[in-house]
């Protein structure tokens, strides 16, 4: 062992010094070397015989095994799965021996095998790798197939795909004369790597990473690792890297978990795409907001624990779309079936009032769909390819959607209501191969470098160099043959959630599940004789699937507040519509602008017989006000979400009959849907098993044929939401009353765990909103779980000019009407809502603000 070997510092945050040990062995070159390892077996000497296997953790450059301290700590707990954790410092790295030698990739893989032999590891072994340690761990895995039980990879790569550039950080570090200066002579490269953590690392943790690398001679291998990255075939380590990359096909039967931080300037989407191509069976979870140092940014140990729990658990035997009702006797009808059936029908299918009242017949719409479908296929779009759609609702979007579905391409829908940042996250997560957008969308896609080959829709697309839908249709007209249609269990769509409780999630639907959603909507009496005003984006697409004539009002459908009463009336008159779909925010503006209607417009609205509003809770008073404008209509407010829509249905009359309750009454399940409740314990944690006892508050669970197939690239989220086979855990909380009606009480994430028990927000907010001086209210919590304090934030009538504490009278009234110990009452000019629906109050944002205010941080920006 080298004489300059250092001991571990006295204190390293999060690292138990008892884990530290030395391993001495003769390497593949016949030289005795000493490695430093962290080993949980050292602190539990009586347990080795009880371990079921070993997690072999391999760090990258320029870190050391300190990177894995959270994993070691998690598996040192008494309730930990019986797996030993061993984390190895590479030679010349961390606190291992400084050999003064150059050790290329092949030698590093040999070294890891030397250590595991010296430790007597015989398997089962699960390799856990990060950065360059990912490649080394995979090299070990390929050489030890008999010992290998699984593979875990975090932000790594085995190949630089052609046409892509190497990571900027690596290219800069390898510039002539720069490499030794930033990697060896100074700790610049190391500090730059540590700066990638999100949130920033505490100073003591940064010191822990720097501890083994205090002097240039101890940093030599940092430069050596950077120099050893083979970017061209001429590099000495190219054959070893190629051997690993090509060998991954041999891991097709090996359980694999990919954990990824997308905010990584070193390994980006191109590297993840390559890994997924080579390991298509791998489970993948993207931790939004996390980056290169994933083990610092996210709960990697929690994901590994859950994955291990599934390794030996037999997979449940389920049909692709579990349903509580018997299998349908009729054959599956694809979503485009009604369009194909009306291919010779020259009556109106779709009207766009925002485009001068353009009318499109069923025959023209189906012909356009077939031509675009054939044009896409001729242009290289294949079954399974993802196609992002950034086109406003209308004929172009309808044709593009059904063209993609017909050839088996998977549509990706992330509407502009997510905001630019949300759209950016969503599209990078979905990683589409193609993108269809209007001119503005194309410009944004180019500026933000969104993935996918681009096609254009509408004016301006050709100017930006994109092949337009019109050109695709002309190509398709010359190639009329379409590829075979996709199967019912092929992926059909990735639909993104609203992002109101965190980053938007992509919900993957199969063709069978989309068709089941269409069939669920038919329970409202919608058919080919119905004329639909589609003022709610989802129904702008489902109208044609139902065979119903649709009209899109003169509004921005992705901004519901832009719908006026006059626009709604004109849309109703255009097709003599009998049904209206509108988001709550759209209805609110219709009511507010109702006085501007003339007699003709009022007469048009009197023909509406069905009014549906969904996307957020709809107050009964708003439904009643809307019915005053549409007196023959029966207002319905279906409950559902992106993952399953609809779930239940309730009419205004039924809401009135139900009376007051602790939440919003959303009615009974529609046919084919089953609802259950996972009861909350005193900490606000839902039970593992569903129940149906009346009056019990808990997480709402749904079972239906139109539940999404899975969350996209969010294995951990999907695992939690569907851990009860056949059921989807919605993340909403509520209860069933004795008559079988469901009452929604808020989001699970917003439940308050107080010293007096669990509180749910919606009922509290309803009671506060009963006060005449309150327009809207939000119930949020401050403080740690178990002793959370209730804070009410109110939007007043008239609105206040600036945020601050409520006056004494309002605060007293709030406490009286709630009957609860309210810690504080704050007032704001306007409660923040989600961008997409303009209706859902952003309680998370309000809670952070209230906590800052009560901690003395000032009112600041809401």
508: nearest Cα among 490, 521, 485 = 490
How far, in Å, CA of 215 to CA of 372, rounded? Answer: 63
**Run of H or E residues at 180:** helix 179-183
DSSP letter for each residue of 526-560: --TT-EEEEESHHHHHHHHHTT-EEEE-SS-TTSG
Handedness of CA 43, 47, 49, 50 (dihedral sign): negative
112 and 239 co-located in one domain: yes
Residue 514 burial class via C-beta count within 10 angstroms: exposed 0-12, middle 13-18, buried 19 and up:
buried
Handedness of CA 249, 251, 256, 259 (dihedral sign): negative
Q: Residue 412 domain-assigned?
A: yes
Q: Residue 121 domain-assigned?
A: yes
135 and 274 co-located in one domain: yes
Peptide linkage before 67 cis (omega within 30 of 0): no
421 and 280 co-located in one domain: no
Q: Residue 822 domain-assigned?
A: yes
pLDDT score for 324? 44
DSSP letter for each residue of 300-356: HHHHHHHHHHHHTSPPP---SS--SSPPPSSPP--TTHHHHHTTT--SEEEEEGGGT
Q: Residue 425 domain-assigned?
A: yes
How far, in Å, CA of 54 to CA of 39, rounded? Answer: 10
pLDDT mean by block of 10 residues, the chain; 862 residues: 52 92 95 96 69 96 97 94 96 96 96 97 95 97 97 95 72 76 93 95 96 96 92 92 96 97 93 96 96 97 95 54 44 92 95 87 96 96 96 91 97 85 92 91 88 82 71 90 95 88 89 95 87 83 92 85 94 94 91 95 95 83 93 93 93 92 92 95 92 91 96 95 93 95 93 91 93 93 91 92 92 94 92 61 86 78 68
pLDDT score for 48? 53
Single residue among 452, 486, 520 that ends a domain in this structure: 486
814 and 837 co-located in one domain: yes
239: nearest Cα among 61, 106, 102, 60 = 106
212 and 274 co-located in one domain: no
141 and 206 co-located in one domain: no
pLDDT score for 7? 61
**Token pair in block for residue 551:** 């009209």
Peptide linkage before 62 cis (omega within 30 of 0): yes
- CATH code for the domain of 468: 3.40.50.980
197 and 153 co-located in one domain: no
204 and 253 co-located in one domain: no
- CATH code for the domain of 841: 3.30.300.30
217 and 251 co-located in one domain: no
Give the CA dihedral 684, 688, 693, 694, nearest 10 degrees: 30
Q: Residue 320 domain-assigned?
A: no
Using DSSP, state whether 569 is helix, strand or coil: helix
Q: Residue 860 domain-assigned?
A: no
Q: Residue 535 domain-assigned?
A: no
Q: Are 238 and 232 in contact (CB under 8 A)?
A: yes
Single residue among 186, 207, 227 that ends a domain in this structure: 227
pLDDT score for 459? 67
pLDDT score for 463? 54
pLDDT score for 861? 67
Single residue among 203, 227, 251 that ends a domain in this structure: 227
How far, in Å, CA of 541 to CA of 518, rounded? Answer: 10
**Token pair in block for residue 610:** 């069905």
Helix axes 395-407, 362-378, angle to 10 degrees: 50
698 and 794 co-located in one domain: no
691 and 760 co-located in one domain: no
Three-state SS sequence of 481-532: CCCCCCCCCCEEEEEECCCCCCCCCEEEEEHHHHHHHHHHHHHHCCCCCCEE
pTM of structure:
0.90
285: nearest Cα among 266, 303, 308 = 303
807 and 769 co-located in one domain: yes
pLDDT score for 734? 96
pLDDT score for 500? 67
Contacts of 496 (CB under 8 A, 6+ apart): 412, 413, 414, 415, 418, 426, 430, 504, 505, 506, 507, 642
pLDDT score for 96? 97
Give the domain range for residue 220.
168-227
How far, in Å, CA of 52 to CA of 49, rounded? Answer: 8
- CATH code for the domain of 89: 3.40.50.1820
Look at the chain and report how many structural domains it folds into: 5
**b/e per residue, 595-621, with b = 16+ CB within 10 A?**
eebeeebeebbeebebbbbbbbbbbbe
Q: Residue 507 domain-assigned?
A: no
């Amino acid at each position: 062992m080298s004489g300059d070997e250092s001991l571990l510092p006295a204190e390293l945050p999060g690292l138990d010094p008892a884990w530290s040990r030395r391993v001495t062995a003769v390497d593949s070159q016949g030289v005795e070397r000493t490695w430093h390892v962290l080993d949980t077996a050292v602190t539990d000497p009586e347990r080795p015989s009880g371990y079921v296997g070993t997690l072999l953790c391999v760090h990258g450059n320029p870190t050391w095994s300190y990177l894995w301290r959270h994993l070691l700590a998690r598996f040192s707990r008494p309730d930990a799965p019986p797996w030993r954790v061993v984390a190895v410092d590479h030679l010349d790295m961390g606190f291992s021996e400084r050999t003064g030698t150059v050790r290329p990739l092949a030698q590093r893989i040999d070294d890891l095998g030397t250590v595991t032999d010296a430790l007597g590891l015989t398997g089962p072994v699960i390799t856990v790798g990060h950065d360059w340690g990912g490649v080394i761990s995979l090299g070990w895995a390929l050489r030890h197939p008999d010992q290998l039980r699984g593979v875990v990879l975090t932000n790594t790569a085995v190949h630089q795909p052609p046409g892509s550039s190497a990571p900027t950080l690596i290219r800069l570090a390898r510039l002539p004369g720069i490499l030794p200066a930033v990697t060896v002579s100074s700790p610049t490269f190391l500090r730059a790597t540590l700066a990638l953590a999100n949130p920033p690392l505490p100073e003591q943790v940064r010191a822990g990473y720097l501890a083994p690398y205090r002097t240039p001679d101890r940093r030599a291998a940092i430069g050596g690792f950077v120099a050893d990255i083979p970017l061209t075939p001429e590099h000495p380590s190219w054959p070893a890297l190629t051997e690993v990359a090509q060998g991954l096909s041999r891991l097709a039967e090996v359980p694999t978990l990919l954990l990824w931080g997308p905010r990584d300037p070193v390994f980006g989407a191109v590297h993840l795409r390559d890994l997924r191509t080579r390991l298509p069976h791998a489970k993948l979870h993207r931790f939004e907001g996390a980056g290169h140092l994933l083990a610092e940014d996210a709960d990697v140990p929690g994901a590994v624990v859950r994955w291990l729990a599934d390794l030996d658990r037999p997979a449940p035997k389920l049909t692709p779309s579990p349903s509580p009702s018997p299998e349908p006797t009729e054959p599956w009808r694809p979503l485009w079936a009604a369009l194909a059936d009306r291919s010779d029908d020259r009556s109106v299918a779709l009207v766009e009032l925002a485009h001068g009242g353009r009318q499109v017949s069923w025959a023209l719409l189906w012909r356009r769909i077939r031509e675009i479908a054939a044009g896409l296929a001729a242009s290289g779009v294949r079954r399974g390819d993802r196609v992002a759609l950034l086109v406003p609702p209308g004929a172009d979007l309808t044709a593009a959607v059904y063209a993609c579905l017909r050839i088996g391409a998977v549509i990706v829908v992330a509407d502009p209501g997510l905001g630019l940042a949300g759209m950016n996250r969503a599209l990078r997560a979905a990683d589409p191969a193609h993108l269809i957008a209007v001119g503005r969308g194309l410009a944004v896609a180019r500026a933000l470098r969104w993935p996918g080959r681009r096609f254009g829709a509408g004016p301006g697309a050709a100017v930006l160099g994109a092949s337009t839908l019109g050109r695709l249709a002309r190509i398709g007209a010359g190639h009329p043959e379409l590829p075979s249609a996709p199967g019912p269990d092929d992926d059909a769509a990735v639909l993104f959630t609203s992002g109101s409780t965190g980053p938007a999630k992509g919900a993957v639907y199969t063709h069978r599940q989309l068709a089941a959603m269409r069939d669920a909507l038919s329970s409202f009496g919608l058919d080919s004789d119905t004329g639909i005003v589609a003022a709610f984006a989802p129904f702008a697409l489902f109208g044609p699937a139902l065979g119903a004539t649709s009209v899109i009002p003169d509004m921005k459908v992705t901004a519901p507040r832009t719908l006026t009463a006059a626009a709604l009336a004109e849309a109703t008159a255009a097709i003599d519509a009998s049904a209206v779909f509108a988001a709550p925010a759209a209805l609110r503006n219709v009511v507010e602008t109702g006085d501007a209607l003339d007699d003709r417009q009022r007469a048009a609205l009197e023909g509406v017989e069905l009014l549906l509003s969904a996307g957020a809770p709809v107050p009964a008073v708003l439904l009643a006000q809307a019915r005053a404008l549409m007196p023959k209509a029966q207002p319905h407010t279906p409950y559902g979400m992106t993952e399953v829509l609809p779930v239940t249905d309730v009419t205004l009359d039924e809401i009135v009959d139900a009376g007051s309750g602790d939440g919003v009454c959303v009615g009974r399940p529609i046919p084919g849907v089953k609802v259950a409740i996972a009861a909350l314990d005193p900490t606000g944690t839902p039970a593992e098993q569903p129940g149906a006892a009346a009056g019990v508050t808990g997480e709402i669970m749904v079972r239906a044929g139109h539940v999404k197939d899975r969350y996209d690239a969010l294995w951990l989220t999907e695992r939690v939401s569907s851990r009860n086979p056949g059921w989807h855990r919605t993340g909403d909380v509520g209860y069933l009353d004795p008559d079988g009606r469901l009452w929604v009480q808020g989001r699970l994430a917003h439940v308050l765990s107080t010293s007096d028990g669990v509180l749910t927000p919606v009922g509290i907010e309803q009671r506060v909103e009963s006060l005449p001086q309150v327009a809207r209210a939000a119930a949020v919590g401050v403080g740690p779980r178990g002793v959370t304090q209730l804070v009410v934030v109110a939007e007043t009538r008239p609105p206040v000019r600036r945020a601050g504490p409520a006056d004494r009278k309002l605060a007293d009234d709030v406490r009286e009407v709630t009957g609860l110990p309210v810690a504080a009452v704050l007032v704001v000019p306007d409660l923040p809502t989600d961008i997409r629906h303009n209706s859902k109050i952003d309680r998370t944002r309000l809670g952070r603000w209230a906590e800052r205010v009560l901690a003395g941080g000032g009112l600041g920006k809401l």
